[in-house]
Structures are given as structure tokens and as C-alpha cells.
Structure 1
Amino acid sequence: MDTDLIEDRLQEKKIRPTAMRLLVYNILKEAKGAISLTDIETMFLTNSSLEIPVDRTTIYRTVKTFEKKGVAHAIEQGNGVMAYALCQSNCQENQHKDQHLHFYCERCKKTSCLRDQQIPNVSLPTGYQIHDLNFTAKGICDQCV
């Protein structure tokens, strides 16, 4: 884990880089796709070298701070479970700008960010305002075909 770079990234977003935040950031960075809070908690529990007590509430608060500050985005996988992935650098506090397609594999249960697949422009009637837009496609991923 390159702690200095992660600390710099968090400080750019006005987030104090605590030990837990550094570890959660690194888990999200190393993930092959979007991961759930349960996945993050499991990674803590299976890594016996960590000397920080794991508290699901602290993990949740850390991820929600990342989401609010534009460090991570949440993906509703269509099964009621939220997954999280790091944002691209252009996201700001309460303004996620990396709108892209998410793909949920029904076989391996993983969610991937398909950053090259932009969400189409959605036109709404006068008076409607979009605050968040999430597109999740479901099927079988390229690893499971």
C-alpha cells in the first residue's frame, strides 16, 4: 500500500487520513470491481496482520464519508445490496461526475464498473431534477462465460 499517495488523495478531498480510512481506501483500490460492506469486512477479518479492531459501523461510516466527499461511489446491484468503488479523480463533494454503466454478474455475483460505457443522457419533463442516476446491467461477465 502506497500510504503517502493515499494520504494525499484523502487530504485533497478534505478527509483526515486515519488508519482505518487508509486501509478501506486500499481495499477499494485493490478490488477487481465494486465491493459490498460485507466484502470489506471479510477482507479485514481474513487479514490477520491487521492490528486495527474491525467495527462494521466504522467501515460503513468510512465508506459513506468517501461517498459524500467524491472518493467512492455507491452502486445498487439490483438485489438490495449496495457495493462501492473508487471514483475517478474528477468527482467532488456531493457531485459524482464519473457516470458510467455498472455490470452485475449473476453467476459470480461481482459488480464491475464499465467506465468506457457512459450512461445515456436522460431527458425529463419540466420540473423534474435528477440528483443521482445509476444504470446496472445484469447478465454473465466475460470471466464466467
Structure 2
Amino acid sequence: MQTDVLTKILKNRSINPTAMRLLVLDQLMNTKVALSLADLEIEMDQADRVTIYRTLKTFEENKLIHSIEDGTGSIKYALCESNCKCTPEFTHAHFHCNDCNRTYCLKNIHLPEVELPQNFKAEQSSFVLKGVCDFCKV
């Protein structure tokens, strides 16, 4: 993707566009599945693991990406919608394929509203469906 487009996306989320941030954003934008730190390391073999991790944390803090715990023991990351608030009431579902180990955002399937007991405050929510994706079903 063009650097000026990536730079604009980062600036819209108040993120300083460094070379590494542009590279990580480009990787995330060019995939249809959520990526783990290990996935990004493989794709960006010249990049330092710590720098990639810090970049992901910066993106997450500025609500450019969200993290997904899909039960594999590895946190995966995916881009947020431009209007995303990354709060529990706006969380969408995810699908994890048991065959290929890919995790997909199901952006049109939102978690139901849950009424918590008095004095409880949700800070994170997750809904992961598991099965076989369309690619593996063939």
C-alpha cells in the first residue's frame, strides 16, 4: 500500500508514522486474518521482535488494532474499523479454524448486550467460534 495512505491512517489515530509502524500496518492491511507476533516476525524477518511488539501495543492503545485470544495460547491482532471504540459493547465475534489455525474477524456479528451485576464493570470481552473455515472445508 502507498506510504502516504498508511501515514494518514496512523496520523488519524494520533500515531507517529515511523518506518516500522508503516511496515507493520502494511502487513496487517494486506491480510484477511488476524496475525500473531510470531506471524509478523516471519513476514518481517529483518525486524526486531521487541520493536514489532511495541508497535502492536502502540496500535492497540490508540485503537487502530484489537487483540484476540482465540484459545491457541498466542494473542492475535487485527485492524479495527475506522469508527471502532474497542469497548466491550462494540466487540464483534471471531472465528478460529481448527485446521489451518487462522483467526478471522466476523465484523457483522456483535456480542449481545449483557447486564452485569451491580458494581461490576466489563473491561474486555471475547466471543470466538471454532470450526473449519471455508478455505479448509474444500
Structure 1 residues 30-69: aligned runs within 5 Å: 30-45=30-45, 53-69=46-62
Corresponding residue number in structure 1 for 2:115: 123
Corresponding residue number in structure 2 for 1:11: 11
Corresponding residue number in structure 2 for 1:49: none
Structure 1 residues 53-132: aligned runs within 5 Å: 53-91=46-84, 95-97=85-87, 98-132=90-124
**Cα separation, 2, equivalents of 1:44 and 1:79:** 22
Q: Could you tell me which amino acid in structure 2 is paired with residue 125 of structure 1?
A: P
Q: Over aligned residue pairs, what C-alpha RMSD do you find?
A: 1.1
TM-score, normalised relative to structure 1? 0.89
**Cα separation, 2, equivalents of 1:113 and 1:43:** 20
CA-to-aligned-CA distance 1:17-60 (integer Å, 9 cap, x gap):
00000000000001121010100010012xxxxxxx41000000
CA-to-aligned-CA distance 1:76-118 (integer Å, 9 cap, x gap):
0112110000000113xxx415511000000000000011111
Q: Could you tell me which amino acid in structure 1 is paired with residue 129 of structure 2?
A: A
**Cα separation, 1, equivalents of 2:118 and 2:29:** 39
1:2 Cα deviation after fit: 1.4
Structure 1: 4+ residue segments shifted above 3 A: none
Alignment identity in percent?
Answer: 45
Corresponding residue number in structure 1 for 2:22: 22
TM-score, normalised relative to structure 2? 0.93
Instruction: Indicate the SS of the match to 1:124.
Output: coil
**Cα separation, 2, equivalents of 1:126 and 1:74:** 27
